[in-house]
Every structure is written in structure tokens, then in C-alpha cells.
Structure 1
Amino acid sequence: MAIRVQAEDFDVGAEYAALTRGRSSIGGVTLFSGLVRDMAGGAAVSAMTLEHYPGMTEKQLEAIEAEARRRWPLDDVLIIHRYGRLEPGDQIVLVATASAHRDAAFDSCRFLIDWLKTKAPFWKLEATPDGERWVEAKDSDDSAAARWDP
């Protein structure tokens, strides 16, 4: 397991190689990489600043990861989430799950990103032509996360 909250960018190919190197028990890996968009809510976005609560953020990500491991037979999990000022096209997050079976890899990856989006303590400030605005929680994100509730 690896959970990293960092300002630095990451290399998806290098992370994949490290996750799978020498691991012949892995039958499938699912990766999700989230990027900063140049439009949100009908407005142009020139940058996004992500803030988090150090210590609490990692602890919450560990709890979300532990829940995924409880639900699916996973060989490994990787969560990288960036903070700081990011521009359109920059990578924000990487979630990767590895399992002997594809269904576990697909379902657990989707679960992790859905719960991360709604339960991890990150705050997003978008820079638009009309000024800065905090990104509000979306009902669609809550609905996506709720489908995983027991």
C-alpha cells in the first residue's frame, strides 16, 4: 500500500511499473488519473488550488483504503493526491488497484475514487475570469459514493 499527498507531479508509467514489478500474482490493474479541466460550471478555469489538512488527510485516505481492502481481495493499492496550485491539464490524483481478478480491480478503483471525492479532506479553489471560487460538493458525487454504502 502506498498513500502519498504531495505537491510534486507523478509519472503514471513509473508508478504502474513499481506497483507491478515482480508481482506475478496480479491478474489486473485498474488506474484512474484525474486531471484539472479548463472549464467547470460553465466558466473557464485558469488554475485550481488544492488545500488539505496534513495528517488528517493521510489518515482518512488510509481508512478509505482499508475499507477497499475489506471489501475486495486486493494485492496492492496506490493513492497519490496532489495539493497546491495546478493548471488545466495537470494531474491531480492517481488511484490504482491491483488484484488477481479484474472485477475486484475495477470495482475497488471506482469505490476508492468515489469515496476519496466525498470523504477525503481536500478543498478546491478555482481561478476564473470572475475571480476565485470554492468548489462546492456536488449531489452527483454524493450519489456515486452512496452506492457503496452498506
Structure 2
Amino acid sequence: MGRTFLPFGRKVALPRVIYISQSGFLVLREIANKSLGSYKAEPSKCTSCCHLTGSVFLGQWTPESVGDYASGTNHVLPTYGYARMYGGVSLDSFLKYMTVQSLTEEGLRQLGPHVATMAEVEGLEAHKRAVTLRLKDIEAKQVSTRR
């Protein structure tokens, strides 16, 4: 076993390599180890149960050092249980993602009342008004076209 630390207030030992058994998968989920070596006969079966690991090395011919230096994966992996939330450093680590939203008038008509209610519950009056003012404009436009 490696060193111990306190993730989320619990003392946990960090193994360097874990032999995987069914109960081992349960331990692995709790630990969120940075890397996992599986040397069993059918190692590909273990990947579905160890998604909280930073990197998995499958089979007896795949030592961790190959991942560190030659196979194309990255050896900068999350330690101290952070594999629960983060993967290893990759090209994605250096990319910036942006979301874009665009509603139609009908889309705002459908979503607007719900958004206004949520904003009101959160006490965000400006967010609520940003929606309700636009809804009033839509309503006024409809009334004027009916005349």
C-alpha cells in the first residue's frame, strides 16, 4: 500500500496497483486511484467498472511505464482521489469550450414562464425581468397583429 490521505474526511490507503476482483471494483470506486493495472485473463471486462480511475493499463503486457512514455496516453494523472472528478491532462485540457443558445419567439414563449419562476425563487429579479419584458413584447406584438 502507498500513503494515506483524507479525501472528503475519510482516511484511505492508496495502493499503487490493485488486483481486481468484484469486491476490488467496489474499493476502486471509493478510492478513485490515479492509475489501475489489471493483469487478469480478460482485462477488458474491468473498464466498465473503473471509470473513476485516471488511466487503466490492461493485460500483463501493458505496464504503467508504457503509458508514461510510449503508448500515447498521458502520465500526468489526478492523484489524491481526484480521479473521481478529473481525468489526466490531455489536449482537451488546453481547449476552451463555449456554449451558444438561440431561442425563437415560440421557444421563449414556452420556456419563459418557467425561467421567470426559477429566477424569482432564486431572488434574481433582473433575470426574471429580462424574460418577462420580452414576453410582454411578444404578447403586445400578437395583440397588435390581431387588430
Bin of the TM-score, shorter chain as denominator length = under 0.3
Relative to the length of structure 2, the TM-score reads 0.20
Q: Give 1 or 2: higher helix fraction.
A: 2
Structure number with greater Rg is: 2
Structure ranking higher on relative contact order (CA contacts 8 Å, 6+ apart) = 1
Q: Give 1 or 2: higher strand fraction.
A: 1
